[in-house]
């Protein structure tokens, strides 16, 4: 009897230990970029602090959102990093839970645009980026988004496809340069359509754009600041434009899966990621532009990322609701005026 009780006690102890280990496991869904650096600067240090295990899943936004939706009743992911628009879509699909910002000790250190970006209490921004025009200074001068349509640039420009993250924001800024701020983007899409033969390509990946620039097949193109590193290291006279209409851009946010059962650990990890120490390391490594306003970087680093209060306040971001509500219309207009 005593032996049986001892065995039963041991089994319960093992079971409790396994349950404890499982409770201290946080599964996160993230972009595939820079994962070696994230592991070194974010994941491994957090595991040491929390005494927990991080399981990291990567993929593009469409795949990762689809997985969250497919497992809505029994979540397999606890926390995810996605775009603002994807966060709103996830909220509309009832896939994510409200974040208790009072539990984030670093929340007040964030730039205002990163605090509750969609205004629904369901996300928090951890990095943002500007989008402007990279151009050859020995070939052309770019002062406006409308310069992309100048006759002297015909046959020397690439433009992002409407299906990319850079497409709609670039179209919106082109519309502003034309005196139109309609969310339908009809006027700028029509203008692109009228000049479609003047564009070298409508690119879908920034790596494709970098190759075209290096081969001197293009002189200018809209691009996200996160890709600037690929251009500034080229042996070419390239510059980042400061158009009179301003810069657009985007923001990536953190969200917490609804009913994951690991909400407390998820919020602890979010807070760690938003800390000045972690955001500083990511900025210095040129991995992410900091959403934490207490981060201070060198001029060299600042020139390679999207940085500073003035820049953060000046970005003209497309509201998430607009991006979701007009996405199909933008694609239809683009296919009609520009082509597949």
pLDDT at 7 over 80: no
The reported pLDDT for the residue numbered 289 is 96
Mean pLDDT within 197-219: 92
Is the pLDDT higher at 110 or at 6? 110
Band of pLDDT at residue 250, cut at 50, 70 and 90: very high
Report the candidate in 204, 222, 171 with the shortest Cα–Cα distance to residue 334: 171
Report the candidate in 131, 218, 211, 171 with the shortest Cα–Cα distance to residue 337: 171
Query: From CA 295, how far away is CA 267, in angstroms rounded?
Result: 21
92-125 residue pLDDT tens? 999 999 999 999 999 999 999 999 999 999 999 9
**Region class of 84: left (phi > 0), else alpha (psi between -120 and 50), else beta:** alpha
The reported pLDDT for the residue numbered 206 is 82
The reported pLDDT for the residue numbered 241 is 95
What DSSP designation does 319 have? Answer: P
Query: From CA 54, how far away is CA 319, in angstroms rounded?
Result: 32
Band of pLDDT at residue 222, cut at 50, 70 and 90: very high
Average pLDDT, the chain: 91
Q: Which of 199-213, 284-298, 323-337 has the lowest mean pLDDT?
A: 199-213
Q: Which of 30-34, 220-224, 335-339 has the lowest mean pLDDT?
A: 30-34
Q: Which domains does the chain have, with CATH numbers?
A: 2-128+251-307 (3.40.190.10), 129-249+319-337 (3.40.190.10)
pLDDT at 178 over 80: yes
Q: 110 forms bridges with which residues in the sheet?
A: 292
pTM for the whole structure: 0.84
Band of pLDDT at residue 232, cut at 50, 70 and 90: confident
The reported pLDDT for the residue numbered 339 is 87
The reported pLDDT for the residue numbered 233 is 84
pLDDT at 17 over 90: no
Mean pLDDT within 239-263: 95
DSSP H or E stretch at residue 339 = none
Q: 25 forms bridges with which residues in the sheet?
A: 53
The reported pLDDT for the residue numbered 226 is 83
pLDDT > 90: what percent of the chain? 83
Q: What one-character-per-residue DSSP string does 4-59 give?
A: HHHHHHHHHHHHHHHHHHHHTEEEEEE-STTHHHHIIIIIHHHHHHHT-EEEEEE-
Residue 184 φ then ψ, to 5°: -70, -25
């Amino acid at each position: 009897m005593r032996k049986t009780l001892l065995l039963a006690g041991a089994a319960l102890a093992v079971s409790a230990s396994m349950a404890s280990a499982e409770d201290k496991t946080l599964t996160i869904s993230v972009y595939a970029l820079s994962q070696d650096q994230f592991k070194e600067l974010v994941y491994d240090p957090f595991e040491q602090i929390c005494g927990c295990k991080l399981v990291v899943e990567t993929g593009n936004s469409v795949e990762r959102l689809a997985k969250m939706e497919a497992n809505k009743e029994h979540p397999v992911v606890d926390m995810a990093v996605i775009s603002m628009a994807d966060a709103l879509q996830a909220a509309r699909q009832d896939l994510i839970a409200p974040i208790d910002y009072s539990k984030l000790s670093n929340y007040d250190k964030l730039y205002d645009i990163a605090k509750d970006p969609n205004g629904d209490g369901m996300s928090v921004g951890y990095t943002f980026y500007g989008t402007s025009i990279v151009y050859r200074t020995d070939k052309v001068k770019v002062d406006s988004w409308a310069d992309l349509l100048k006759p002297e640039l015909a046959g020397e420009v690439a433009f992002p496809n409407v299906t990319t993250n850079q497409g709609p924001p670039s179209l919106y800024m082109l519309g502003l340069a034309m005196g139109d701020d309609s969310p339908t983007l009809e006027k700028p899409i029509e203008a692109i359509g009228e000049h479609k033969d003047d564009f070298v390509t409508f690119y879908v990946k920034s790596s494709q754009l970098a190759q075209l620039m290096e081969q001197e097949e293009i002189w200018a193109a809209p691009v996200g600041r996160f890709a600037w590193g690929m251009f500034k290291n080229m042996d070419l006279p390239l510059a980042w434009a400061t158009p009179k209409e301003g810069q657009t851009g985007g923001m990536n946010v953190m969200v917490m899966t609804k009913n994951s059962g690991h909400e407390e650990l998820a919020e602890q990890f979010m807070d760690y990621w938003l800390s000045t120490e972690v955001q500083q390391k990511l900025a210095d490594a040129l991995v992410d532009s900091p959403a934490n306003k207490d981060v201070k970087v060198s001029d060299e680093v600042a020139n390679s990322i999207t940085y500073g209060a003035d820049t953060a306040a000046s970005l003209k971001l497309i509201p998430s609701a607009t991006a979701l509500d007009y996405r199909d219309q933008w694609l239809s207009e683009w296919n009609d005026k520009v082509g597949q």
